[in-house]
Amino acid sequence: MGVEADLFVVGGAAMGVAQNARRATTDVDAVFVPSKEMRTVRRVA
């Protein structure tokens, strides 16, 4: 069974995606929902 999640990207990274910016950033603020299930997936992966 797969796990579905929503990813919300905020801040400068979101603005870069919205503006099709070519510069890359490693500073990405994001929230995964559902967070408990995503933490489990991260441990297993």
Write down the pLDDT at residue 23.
76
What letter represents residue 31's amino acid?
Answer: V
Res 45 pLDDT > 70: no
DSSP classification of residue 39: H
Q: Which tens digits make up the pLDDT trace of 4-34?
A: 888 888 888 888 888 887 777 788 888 888 7
Q: How far apart are CA 16 and CA 29, in angstroms?
A: 12
